[in-house]
Amino acid sequence: MTRSSYPRRRFLIQTGALGLGASFGLAACGSDDSGPDAPAVIVPDSARPKLPDGIQIGDAGNGRAIVWARADRVARMRVEYDTTDRFSNVRQVLGPTVSEATDYTGRIELTGLPAGETIFLRVAYDSIDNPSATGIVVPGHFRTSPRPDASRPVRFVWGGDVAGQGWGINPEFGGMKIYEAMRRREPDFFLHSGDTIYADGPILAEVKAEGDRLWKNIVTPQVAKVAETLDEYRGRYRYNLMDENVRRFSAEVPQIWQWDDHEVTNNWSSSKDLSADTRYTEKNIDTLVARATQAFREYAPMPLGSAGQEQTIYRKVSHGPLLDVFVLDMRSYRGPNTANLQTAEGPETAFLGEAQIAWLIDGLKQSQATWKIVAADMPIGLWVPDGKDASGNSRWEAIANGNDGEALGRELEIARVLRGIKAVPNVVWLTADVHYCAAHYYDPAAARFTDFAPFWEFVAGPLNAGTFGPNALDSTFGPQLVFQKAPPEGQSNLSPFSGYQFFGEVNIDPGTRALTVDLRDLDGVSQFSKTLAPA
């Protein structure tokens, strides 16, 4: 079923004909910014800035959207946009001049966008040395948040875990083709639930997969080893954007990014000890975090912040009257991975942190949207182990501690959140991280901590990584396993050949306001569906 309100076929034909040799050559219309006039002379393509990684669109909502692009040299970013693919009433916005300092990445925030429209884009970088060398154009388009009286459903997809466990871009397989399956669903946006890269996972030219099959990767120097330098972290993001499925998807579907551990290294916190990991010559976790954070912020299509204040990764993105998305950061404020059995909150039990907890509870209470999605980069009730400590006790990477009792350790923060939002209707949690798909119903009647309202948690992924699981459930918050699809018993780290790659899809009906979740496979086929009626 096609949901498009715009002439997709004609747009693709036109932009295809426009091609990579097209130049802006259009004066600004209705904008305070003015760009260079159309070139008076013909310049060779080699003199014109290019966008080797395509474009990305991010955090589209409330009349705003981020347009991200990376140049191949020092140049100034420029975006033209209109509500038709004819660009008859085009607006032009000039952006930053990019340099090596940001790996030539830049972004422009579009504001004042009309609700319920398709926005068509032409994005380029212009030479700052040669006014005639206008940039080579990359087109794109996306839908803005629906109007209050909209008759079309809200649809978005989510998932995480990209290029992990050595399963990278395999052209013979079709590349990261789950992105094409998601694009064909024509979502309003994509929620990237973390592990946007695998900085700690080397990608080799050939990897032996199940059934004695051979997985053949594209390899670059930056992904052939664990990331330690800033260039290696940046190279991980550039690698993913080499995939044509990812670039096509990114030019059409706005994204909302969060991060988890593999953007830095496996299971990292400030206490991460790399002293015994011979793959790393840089052992200081704070140094790696700083480099990884810079690369993430350069490549994530999200706002940078304002008035000299850096944008927090946790944030709210509104998508019309039916939906608010609360994006969590479960990585930056956590304490060390321990046995997670503390009886009182303190530095070791920190997971979201005080500021984020207050923001989340207050935001959910104040939200006027019908549905409130909590985008968590880790699940609440699933066991996610992190080896043993020096005394042989289990360490835990996520929230659950395998104790099956009253809330302890990091569970204390989650208990505080669930108690604080007990009266807030229509809250659904979405996550990834564990590399299989599942549906959990959290029932206080089956829980040890009971002071909360029932809710659902849905798990999707991996998008292009090894498949694992299933994980055990901790009974503290009463999760009931309703569905899961994971590798057969005794099998793990299955390649995308196996088909155990999953993304989630959410549809909200504007008439009934019911929310339906589907867990879909590599080909976009639904494996499980659940419809929730609004309270």
> Mean pLDDT of residues grouped by 10 in the chain (535 residues)?
42 35 36 44 89 98 96 98 97 97 98 96 96 94 91 95 98 98 98 98 97 97 98 98 98 98 96 95 98 98 84 96 97 96 96 98 98 98 94 95 96 98 98 98 98 98 97 98 96 97 98 98 98 97
Cα Rg of the chain (Å, integer): 23
Beta bridge partners of 520: 503, 526
Of 34, 167, 152, 150, residue with least CA distance to 93: 34
Q: How many CB atoms lie within 10 A of CB 163?
A: 27
DSSP-derived letter for residue 464 is: B
- The pLDDT tens digits for 28-49 are 333 334 344 444 568 888 999 9
3-state secondary structure 205-243: CEEECHHHCEEECCCCHHHCCCCCCHHHHHHHHHHHCCC
pLDDT value for 6: 40
d(CA 61, CA 115): 9
Q: How many CB atoms lie within 10 A of CB 344?
A: 8
Q: For the CA atoms of 218, 219, 220, 226, what is the dihedral angle to 10 degrees?
A: 140
pLDDT value for 22: 39
Beta bridge partners of 326: 316, 374
Tokens of 322: 């039916």
Judge contact between 49 and 124, C-beta under 8 A: yes
Q: Which helix (H) or strand (E) holds 442?
A: strand 437-442
d(CA 183, CA 57): 14
Q: What are phi and psi of 287, to 5 degrees?
A: -65, -45
Domains defined for the chain, CATH in brackets: 8-143 (2.60.40.380), 154-532 (3.60.21.70)
3-state secondary structure 134-154: CCCCEEEEEECCCCCCCCCCE
Judge contact between 269 and 336, C-beta under 8 A: yes
Query: Strand 503-508 and strand 154-159: pairing?
Result: antiparallel
Q: What are phi and psi of 528, to 5 degrees?
A: -160, 145
pLDDT value for 26: 34
Q: What is the pTM of this model?
A: 0.92
Which residue type occupies 488?
Answer: P
For 5, 24, 84, 100, 237, the CA distances from 263, given in Å and listed in that order, are 36, 36, 37, 21, 10
d(CA 209, CA 424): 46
Q: How many CB atoms lie within 10 A of CB 417?
A: 20
Place of tokens 């990584």: 465
